[in-house]
Amino acid sequence: MNFPILSSLILLPIVGALFLFFTKDKNGNILTAKYVALFTTIVNFLISIYLWISFDQSTSSFQFIEDRTWIEGLINYKVGIDGISILFIILTTFITPLCIISVNNSVKNRLRDFLIAILIMESFMIGVFCALDLVVFYLFFEAGLIPMFLIIGIWGGARRVYSAFKFFLYTLLGSVLMLVAIISIYWITGTTDVVKLYEIGIDVKYQNLLWLAFFSSFAVKTPMWPVHTWLPDAHVEAPTAGSVLLAAILLKMAGYGFIRFSLGLFPVASETFTPLIYVLSVIAIIFTSLIALMQEDMKKLIAYSSVAHMGFVTLGIFTLQQQGIEGSIIQMISHGLVSAALFLTVGVVYDRMHSRLISTYGGLVSVIPKYSILFMIFALASLGLPGTSGFIGEFLILMGAFKDNFLVAVVASLGVILGAAYMLWLYKRVVFGKLINEDLKKIVDLNRSEYFILSCLAAPILFYGFYPDPLINTIEVSVTDLIDMHKTNLASK
Amino acid sequence: MGNLNLILPEIFISLSIMFLLILGVFKKDSSKITFNLSLLTILITSIITINETFSVNRETLFNGSFIIDQMSSLMKIITLIGGFLVLVISSSYLKTFKIYNIEYPILILSSILGMMVMISSNDLIVFYMGLELQSLALYVLATYNRDQLKSSEAGLKYFVLSALSSGLLLYGCSLVYGFSGSTNYDIISNKLNSDEYVLTFGIVFILVGLAFKISAVPFHMWAPDVYEGSPTTVTLFFTIVPKIAALTVFIRFLYVPFLNLIDQWQMIIVFLSIASMIFGAVAAIGQTNIKRLIAYSSISHIGYTLAGLATATNEGIQSSIIYISIYVVMNLAFFSCLLMLKRKDQYYENIDDLSGLSKNHPLLSLCLLLILFSLAGIPPLAGFFAKFYVFKAVLEQSMYFLAIVGLLSTVVAAFYYLRIIKIIYFDKEKDKYDTDHSLWLKFSLTVSTVLILFYFIFPSQLIEVVSRINII
């Protein structure tokens, strides 16, 4: 057994959090606390990069596996990664340090506790993407609710209590059915080990119900229409760093879950329910794009755009085509970067003007040009302009969709136009036009740390927009084998 | 009578009670020494229990009317530990209300003795004797703060309703005796068959009486009032210790004499379980008093425990026992926090009094946070595993309806636990509370919180102990 690198990846943020917990919370210490958290997350990021480098791209089997008995004869603590999960782990470890740098101004009181919550959140999120046992997955999946509830509730805006409750109860309600399904799988097959379950397969007669139970959880988390309503509330009220984590990583748990569990474990049911997913995804794409057009609050607009983008993701996953699934994964990574960046750009002006309303702004380009340029990159990436990572994802998804179902693909393509409409209109109203609001004249451009964060996000967005090969190479074998396994499973039943 | 040392724990505890009574009568100002001696008694009793009975697989005494097996020794130890911790954290509370008297520890000891007899009973008469001994002690304990109207009211209410349920229980016992011709569980088990419909009445009466004792819906009406009115430490005692004993009796009744009649009682248990889970979750939402809230919360927790019993498997019984053990720890932790809400000799027990607690008492709030999330059953805390085992057992029997209703009611229950967390963490702060708590209070809070938080690292130990219990 080699060095347990995945476990250390999971545990390191918790160690950092413990360290912070035992430091005194005084004003002078705030910087120290931040450095400790930053140091921990950066080390974690480096470990994950090392993981990516030493990752073998030529095989789809799980690597870096750790398998320990946890509850005798019942659950094993099993973690491991394949080409799909490693990208999400890197996304997590990449976004978290940026979040921590960004908490400068937005979180005033109890910074130390905030950092602890973010660190614990990080380790749970990494856990979700590594888990190879259903119960372990569920544990991490659910445990993430606690820190996020506190992040929204303690450091959030005016309606934070309502949003935090809505977030918690919605997600919990979805997840309990998944727990029933997981235990049922244990009794049906005698194991909750994902790798073994891939080999054994689950009897067709149970698959539909089990699939629905998993779906109820993932649909809430994705979020899919019509259970998406918690997301705008949570986003609007959460502090910037919270919104970033929520949009960039938490939502991806569900997409990842769809690929890893819904497709992998229930091939027949996935086939059966594809129309349902298509309908919900298309509604999400069109309907929430239209809602996004009407928003007056910038954060809300971006939140609705997240729902629309996740609609593309679910659509791509259930096309069950190579391009569709690869596109979904790249779209999730890209959306993770872009939505994080957009929330941060909103956070930048919110810190200065304390308003998220679009009408407060206008004509920013003449006062803060640097900000305007970066904002433009992110807005264009969000609408999927060629040359940004957003394009690769959406293009591959639509390609997969055209192969599978022409009508759905056509309707979804309309969503791309709507996406361009609301993003460009947002950008126009905020950045261009006449500078009417007198207060805006005093607004200062990005400071060094903000500039650093946003450039860090802009770089991969552009890089992978032009050269997506590193991403595609990593996932390709895993996706191919997933689809092969899916097809053989379908054929044998 | 060669193996009389199997009931040495009971003999020792009863002798100690008599000794302490005499000591209390003849020595002035003896409350402190009585307290300490009682603690010592409980300690010694637990040691004797572990020593003499823990390795015994199954033995009966007195013509099979008294049974020592794995379940009885485990439950006795949990009872004793629970009793010890309740007693040890009571003293500062009692001193505040000037009711720090010798009767308190002696009453607790007698009720523990009653419960130990109940746990080991294998005969209707022995069982009833133990039940009455513990009930009588509990009536007095409920009214222990006799200067307060609420406390007296609680005791009276408890007495009247409990007497009624004991009557029903006795009536059921007499019917069962009439049909089987014996009061011994093993003999009853052999003689009974399901053809006799009147016998169902006997079972129903017994189950109603027992459901009353563990406050399962629809026989829960006394619990909120009694919990609210009794002194807080007594409420803590009520919420954990008698439930352990009553649960053991429940298990023994269902699985020894009535096992053959499973068709008659399984639906009843399922109904009690579902009703308790839902009602406990829904009714707690509107509460403003923490003790009342805990009453409803304990009702719903009892619902989950019963869900394990309804499965009629050894796994089910084991999961119920795991559930009640974790529940004991969680409740102990929660009440330790409650006993810390003290300012200038006054205890606070409204939910609003917790407002903004996290600003002035970050550690206490963190403990409460963990305890409440654990009570709500959120992983990776202990409360989740308790539910996990129960639902695992329930789903093994394909009782999907029970599992889904149970899990959905955890979502409802999560709402009111979240509401407390919201008040602690999101609301405006109030005045500071005292921080000079007794060492034991801090100790019990720390230990129980650590157990709740780190249970997930070593979950196998508890299972190992419990898995030796095989009733069926």
pLDDT at B284 over 70: yes
Region at B354 (left for phi over 0; alpha for psi -120 to 50; beta for the rest):
alpha
User: Does A188 reach chain B within 8 Å, measured CB to CB?
Assistant: no
Nearest to A311 by CA among A267, A337, A275, A279: A279
For the stretch A118-153, pLDDT in tens is 999 999 999 999 888 899 999 999 998 899 998 888
Q: Which of B411, B429, B449 best probes binding to A when mutated, by most A CB atoms within 10 angstroms?
A: B411
Residue A27 predicted with pLDDT over 70: no
B156, B248 Cβ separation under 8 angstroms? no
Q: What are phi and psi of A450, to 5 degrees?
A: -65, -40
Q: Do B418 and A139 touch (CB under 8 A)?
A: no
CB contact under 8 A, A180 and B400: yes
Residue B238 forms part of a structural domain: no
CA–CA gap between residue A230 and residue B30 (Å, rounded): 61
Domain count across chain B: 1
Q: Summarize pLDDT for A201-241 with one digit per residue, the tens.
A: 888 888 888 999 999 999 998 888 888 888 888 888 888 88
Confidence at A28, pLDDT banded by 50, 70, 90: low
Give the mean model confidence (pLDDT) for residues B151-164: 90
Under 8 Å CB pairs connecting chains A and B tally to 81
Per-residue pLDDT band for B191 (boundaries 50, 70, 90) equals confident
* B310: in domain: yes
Q: How many CB atoms neighbour CB A295 within 10 A?
A: 20
Q: How far is CA A72 from CA B44, B115, B461, B462, in A?
A: 33, 32, 9, 11
- Whether residue B201 is contained in a domain is answered as no
Q: Is A75 helix (H, G, I), strand (E, B) or coil?
A: strand
Residue A105 has pLDDT above 70, yes or no: no
Question: Which pLDDT band holds residue B327 (cuts at 50, 70, 90)?
Answer: very high
pLDDT at B245: 92
Would the CB atoms of B379 and A139 count as touching at under 8 Å? Answer: yes
List chain A domain ranges.
270-493
pLDDT at B297: 92
Partner-chain residue, chosen from B388, B392, B422, that has the shortest CB–CB distance to A153: B422
Residue B244 placed within a domain: no
> Which tens digits make up the pLDDT trace of A294-338?
888 888 888 898 898 898 899 888 888 888 888 999 999 999 999
- A positions 141-160 inside 8 Å of B (CB): 142-143, 145-146, 149-150, 153-154, 160
In a domain, B270, yes or no: yes
Per the structure block, which two tokens stand in for B348? 């606070």
pLDDT at residue A106, rounded to an integer: 61
Contact list, B426 vs chain A (CB under 8 Å): 153-154, 160-161, 164
- B456 to A139: CB separation less than 8 angstroms, yes or no: yes
- Secondary structure of residue A80 in the 3-state scheme: strand
* Burial track A406-439 (b if 16+ CB lie within 10 A, e otherwise): eebbebbeebbebbbebbeebbebbbeeeeebee
Which H or E run contains B4?
A: none
Residue B317 lies in a domain: yes
Beta bridge partners, B61, equal B66
- Residues of the domain holding B328: 261-472
Cβ-contact A179, A138 below 8 angstroms: yes
Nearest to B422 among A139, A161, A172 (CB): A161
Those residues whose C-beta lies under 8 Å from the C-beta of residue A74, and which sit 6 or more positions away, are: A186, B392
Distance CA B359, CA B118 (A): 46
B422, part of any domain: yes
Residue of B407, B418, B456 with shortest CB distance to A165: B418
Confidence of residue B306 (pLDDT cuts 50, 70, 90): very high
Residue A195 has pLDDT above 90, yes or no: no
pTM of the model: 0.91
Scan for tokens 């399984």, then name that residue.
B266
d(CA A482, CA A198): 10
Contact at 8 Å (CB) between B448 and B333? Answer: yes
B430 within a domain of the structure (yes/no): yes
What pLDDT was estimated at residue A493?
65
* pLDDT tens digits along A246-256: 888 888 898 89
Q: Is B432 exposed, middle or buried (0-12, 13-18, 19+ CB in 10 A)?
A: exposed
Question: Which of the residues A128, A146, A154, A171 would you substitute to probe the B interface, choosing the one with the greatest number of B C-beta atoms within 10 Å?
Answer: A146
pLDDT value of residue B277: 92
Residue A261 is classified by DSSP as I
For B362, which residue in chain A has the nearest alpha carbon?
Answer: A113
A97 preceded by a cis bond (ω within 30 of 0):
no
For residue A172, give the nearest of B369, B414, B421 by CB distance.
B414
